[in-house]
Amino acid sequence: MNRVYVCSCFGVTEKQVKEHADAGACTPRQIASACKAGTDCGSCVRRIQAILGRGNCPRRELVDQGMPALATETVADLREAA
């Protein structure tokens, strides 16, 4: 199995970042909250931004209203899967 690492500091793969994005993470900060990627040396933040793309956030309306985009259960499930 080929793993493409996005964050070497915390061993976070591209697949994991995409899973967090599918779960509602819209920004690098939300990815960082979910799996710590981008919180150490920061060299992966641009790659995370590229994976997230522009717009296309399924839960953008929640974020715009100041509500969390990630459900607590979803973050816990993804952490366990890592």
Cα 73 to Cα 7, 18, 27, 53, 76: the distances in Å are: 23, 17, 19, 24, 5
Whether this model's pTM surpasses 0.85: no
Query: What is the tens place of the pLDDT at every residue in 8-62?
Result: 999 999 999 999 988 888 889 999 999 999 999 999 999 999 998 865 565 656 6
Residue 6, Ramachandran bin (φ over 0: left; ψ between -120 and 50: alpha; else beta): alpha
d(CA 23, CA 26): 9
